[in-house]
Amino acid sequence: MPDIAIVPRPASVEELEGGPFLVDGSTAVVVEQRPELIQVAVLSADLLGRVAGKPVQVRYDDVEGPGAVRLLLDDAAPEGDEAYSLVVTSDGVTARAREVAGLVHAVVSLRQLMACNGDEGASVPAVRIEDAPRFAWRGLSLDVARHFFGVEDVKVVIGLMKHYKLNVLHLHLSDDQGWRLHVPSRPNLTRVSGQTAVDGDPGGYYSASDFQTIVQFAAARGVRVVPEIDVPGHVNAASHAYGELNPSGEPTDAYTGIEVGFSRLHADLPATTPFIEAVFGDVAAMSPDEYVHIGGDEVLTMEAEEYASLVGTAARVVRAAGKKVIGWQEIAHTPLEPGTVVQFWDPRVDPSVFVEAAKAGALFLMSPASKSYLDMKYDADFPLGLEWAGCVEMRDAYDWEPTTLIEGMPPESVVGVEAAVFTETIRTLDDLTTMLLPRLAAVAEVAWTAPELRDWDDFRARVAHQGAFWDRLGLAWHPSTQVDWER
């Protein structure tokens, strides 16, 4: 398997006899002339051409002859919206899927198989692959509130996500340190709190146009964008912009530290419910995704009844806007509508409440901090990151099973896996990619590949080839000593 060094590992790989396929100036991506296929073809031709160093054409007529990469929507393809088959021979490449998302995954696998041949282009070994993801939700939560990352940086992250077949970008858009999405009903949120960040570093925010740019760029690559507005805690940026959210009626001071749990909304203030209704209504209207994340974590100074009331208000507004609710694991302590997604992050607490929530119809997204929080240090001496959940090395991020994290949880209640990166210590794109890479690839394989096919030694042999790819992209990354890197 290491000779076919695809990450995450496909469900089935068969090496075929015969020579490799050559991607060069005569290669063309061939599709039917349908808008959704044309978009995939253009992106695929650009990707393959950049790897090969040769221009790759797009054609809409399936002419005979070698040199074609055919992308076919086919009801006979493997079952599943994201499943695909990929057959490579010396004469050409055929990718089949039932939906466009599957074709995108097939092209990603093809790209990972390509080896540069200098001026001759790139070669791809003869192979047959059939593949499908284990979990439908395979995500990355990106905190842009502690430190802001602009549209171009987010595009880089989306590109990495797609390379490892992740399909949900969860944007953590508000926290104590800053507010990062302009909402029409409360413009002071970005006018005032869009300017702040940890340690007094530069702030920033997304306009409505910026957010749509991110959403559209992601959608073209098969990635959904789920926005998060965190309530009823982590709200100092909101109370700094709007004093009526405080009992005193005065704005709080800007906060540039990294402590948590000190800020909160107040259910009995007349401004609170209108604020929640306006903000979540605006965010739901701006976002095409079916989910809106309501936060709900680390509210340390609020009684349970008030917490449940405020979480319920946010959930009601989200549902009234036609969206589904997701929140951090603390919302499991409140009444939940069936189908609500609970994002599990802290295994140190009593699991019984989560088991009961699952039995009542809640679904669970697994993000255990000790495994999938990629802002944790690699080791105690690493210059970036925190270590409240311990250090997370490559094998920590790889060796865990999502369906057994919570004892007694029905496996069918687990809808997916999501890595997270919070940015208290992360200021630049280089910082960000250093923390993501190589661990993002490990979590991606946990999310995609069936457990019986996952093996640490096999993974470390395959991921060793990824460093050269990151180098070609000019990305900063951490050469973990747990892997013998091929560079």
Q: Which positions are catalytic?
A: 298
Closest to 343 (Cα-Cα) out of 360, 355, 358, 326: 326
The tokens for 475 are 């990305």
CA atoms of 438 and 347, how far apart (whole Å): 24
CA atoms of 341 and 332, how far apart (whole Å): 9
List strand residue ranges (DSSP E) for 150-242, in order.
Answer: 168-172, 224-231
CA atoms of 265 and 139, how far apart (whole Å): 28
Question: Mapping DSSP to helix (H, G, I), strand (E, B) and coil, where does residue 376 land?
Answer: strand
CA atoms of 383 and 385, how far apart (whole Å): 7
CA atoms of 305 and 80, how far apart (whole Å): 42
Rg (CA), the chain: 23
Task: Kindly give the residue spans of alpha helices, DSSP state H, lying in 185-330.
Answer: 188-193, 208-220, 236-241, 272-286, 304-320
Q: What is the DSSP letter of 401?
A: -
Give ∠ CA 457-486-22 in degrees, rounded to 5: 105
DSSP for 349-369 reads S-THHHHHHHHTT-EEEE--H
Q: What is the DSSP letter of 92?
A: E
Pairing type for strands 363-366 and 12-15 reads: unpaired
354 touches 413 (CB < 8 A): no
CA atoms of 473 and 172, how far apart (whole Å): 26
Pairing type for strands 57-59 and 28-30 reads: parallel
Strands lying side by side in the sheet with 127-131: 12-15, 127-131, 84-88, 92-97, 68-73, 28-30, 57-59
188 touches 240 (CB < 8 A): no
Residue indicated by tokens 């910082």: 431
DSSP for 420-486 reads EE--SS--SHHHHHHHHTTHHHHHHHHHHS-GGG--HHHHHHHHTTHHHHHHHHT------TTS---
